[in-house]
Amino acid sequence: MIKKTMAALFALGALTFANTEAQAEEMFGYKAPNSKAAAGVQVFHRCKKCHSMDPAKNTFGPNLRGVYMRKAASLPRFEYSEDLKKSDIVWDEDFLRAWVEGNTLVVSGTRMRHVQITDPAEQDYLIEFLKTFK
Ligand code: HEC
């Protein structure tokens, strides 16, 4: 039920690009360059209680501004898990996809609570958002 509602919301998000764009701009000063990225803003609601997009701010998790192609565990002022530090991951599209699909399967000792975004469309939106928020 919740899943269906979410799916409907995402579809709506993609359709009402102008609306979500305005919302994103208000939220983080982010201008979505396309409708996929705008839909990604909606998916990011599931991350933002722990992750900021403000480069000056780490909250419960490290900030994710410019995380695309960043080396894992590389922010100087965040206390990462030993396992993520040892991982040698660079956050390219494949790793980001695997991470949001099941982060604890990628790095078993991570401090990030398990997330599971398995819908490839939702993954696409989210990755487009992270990629374009530099
Ligand atoms: C309950 C809090 C929480 C939620 C929700 C959460 N994360 Fe995290 N995230 C963390 C923590 C804590 C870490 C640090 C993990 C470690 O050190 O092992 C992290 C690490 C990451 C990293 C690695 C960053 C780096 O600098 O190497 C990425 C990428 C990431 N999260 C993406 C996401 C995305 C995308 C979502 C939403 C789908 C999400 N997270 C949801 C807490 C959270």
Q: Would you say the CB of residue 91 lies under 6 angstroms from ligand 1?
A: yes
CATH number for the domain harbouring residue 120? 1.10.760.10
What pLDDT was estimated at residue 57?
87
The reply to whether ligand 1 has any atom less than 6 angstroms from the CB of 30 is no
Structure pTM? 0.87
| % residues pLDDT > 90 (the chain) | 71
Between the CA of 59 and the centroid of ligand 1 the distance, in Å, is 10
127 lines ligand 1 (CB under 6 A): no
With a 6 A CB cut-off, is 51 part of the ligand 1 pocket? yes
Q: Which two tokens stand for residue 27?
A: 């939220």
Total domains present in the chain: 1
Element (H, E) at 134: none
Residues ≥6 apart with Cβ < 8 Å to 46:
115, 117
Range of the domain at 80: 2-132
Convert the pLDDT of each residue in 74-85 to its tens digit.
Answer: 999 999 999 999
